[in-house]
Each structure stands twice: as C-alpha cells, then as structure tokens.
Amino acid sequence: MCDLRTEQGLAQINALLDYIGTGHKIGDVMAISLRSLQVEAGIASDVLASPSKELTYVTDCWFLGLRKCCAKHHIWIHVKANRVPSSARQHDQFIMDIATSMPFKRQELVDINLVRIYLKVCTISDIATAVGSSLHLSAWKVEPFSDRRSNLSFPHQETPTSSQRGLWRKVLRHILCLQPWTTNLCHFRPLGIWHAPSNMV
C-alpha cells in the first residue's frame, strides 16, 4: 500500500526539478515563492537544504509540505535560485535562530517574526550600529530605520502591537544579556570584522 504523503512529496520534488531554473513561468513563480519563504523564515540555513529545522511560525505554503517530505526521508535540496541572507560579520547571528532557541510558544514566535518583518531585518548586524558594539535605537523602539534599508524583498507588515513589541524586546534583551529593568543598548558581544556584504544598504 503506497504512502500518499510520500507520493505527494515525490511529485513536488519532480515538479521542482522540472520547472525551476528553466525560464518557465511556473519555475519563476517557484523561485519567487522560495525566496519569499527564506526571507519570512529569517534563518541562517537554506530552507530546503535544512528541512529538519521546524518553521512553525511561517505562513503555510507549498514549500512547507515539500520540506516535511524531505525531512522525513532525509533529503536536502539546494536551489541555486534561492537567496539566503548574509551573516555579514564575525559573531553575527540570525534573530529567528536566537528566538527559536528560547522558550517561546508558537504564536509568540509568529509575533516576534512579524516585528522582524516590519523592521525588514534578519541578523544582529542588521540592527546593530555601524561599529557593531551596540544596537541601533530604532531596533529597540521598533521604528523603521532612517539611515538604512534592506536589500531583500520583505512582505508588507502592519505596525506591530504593544504586545508584539514586548516579545521582540525580550529577544533583544536576551541578545544583550540585559536584566528586565535595564534599557542599556550596549554590553553585548561586539560584532567583529565584515566578511560578507551587509543585508542593509
């Protein structure tokens, strides 16, 4: 008796191989959707090359079903058309990799990620000052940056609620090793030299 979920996963893999990178409009849509998922996930690893990493906080889509099949059968796929944001500096980290390591519930991770998408950032270097020794005040205030913008395509996101801002600041406090009553935006491990282009321009 065949496993219909496996059959579906194999069909998705075949569809990906048939269309992506061929110049066909279906393949173009797949590439755009994959890049969108990568930005929405906000993680250091390629979403199809690391399918075992759970992404419970992102919008359900065709690629999540493909990831489940790949994770089950220990398959990884590298799609050249995908674009993984840069970890641009020494000691840099991806914010959602940090958040998912903390004891947040699924909906809390959804809310934290919505704030990250609103700010259009992925890594600590995206929200740090140029010298890399402290966080930019706009990141703490959850305000759009006036001195930089992302070179990635983020979806539109409404202004976060006060509850969402509070969850976001919990992640920032964790990054900064802050006590709950302090607001000093320094005192975290300074970022080192640049080794890749920034996600911000």
Summarised one tens digit per residue, pLDDT across range 69-119 is 999 999 999 999 999 999 999 999 999 999 999 999 999 999 999 999 999
101 and 66: one domain?
Answer: no
104 and 162: one domain?
Answer: yes
Q: What's the count of helices (H) and strands (E) in the chain, helices before strands?
A: 8, 0
Residue 61 falls within a domain, yes or no? yes
Residue 78 falls within a domain, yes or no? no
Percent of residues, the chain, with pLDDT higher than 70: 95
Residue 41 falls within a domain, yes or no? yes
170 and 128: one domain?
Answer: yes
pLDDT of residue 189: 80
60 and 106: one domain?
Answer: no
Residue 78 C-alpha from the chain's centroid: 17
Number of domains in the chain: 2
Please tell me the distance from the alpha carbon of residue 109 to that of residue 105, in angstroms, as a whole number. Answer: 6
Please tell me the distance from the alpha carbon of residue 62 to that of residue 66, in angstroms, as a whole number. Answer: 7
Q: pTM score > 0.75 for this model?
A: yes
Residue 187 falls within a domain, yes or no? no
Q: Please report where in the chains the tokens 């191989």 appear, as a residue.
A: 17
Mean pLDDT on 162-186: 83
Find the domain containing 46 and state its range. 4-72
23 and 68: one domain?
Answer: yes
49 and 9: one domain?
Answer: yes
Q: Judge whether residue 182 has pLDDT over 70.
A: no
Tell me 128's DSSP state: B
Spell out the alpha helix ranges (H) of the chain: 4-19, 25-41, 62-72, 95-100, 106-119, 124-127, 137-141, 162-176
Please tell me the distance from the alpha carbon of residue 142 to that of residue 70, in angstroms, as a whole number. Answer: 36
55 and 127: one domain?
Answer: no
Q: Judge whether residue 188 has pLDDT over 90.
A: no
SS3 194: strand
Residue 185 falls within a domain, yes or no? no
116 and 152: one domain?
Answer: yes
99 and 172: one domain?
Answer: yes
> H or E element: which one contains 99?
helix 95-100
Residue 192 falls within a domain, yes or no? no
Query: Which pLDDT tens digit goes with each residue over 17-62?
Result: 999 999 999 999 999 999 999 999 999 999 999 999 999 999 999 9
Residue 190 falls within a domain, yes or no? no
**83 and 37 Cβ atoms separated by less than 8 Å:** no
Arithmetic mean of pLDDT over the chain: 93
100 and 68: one domain?
Answer: no
Residue 106 falls within a domain, yes or no? yes
Residue 181 C-alpha from the chain's centroid: 28
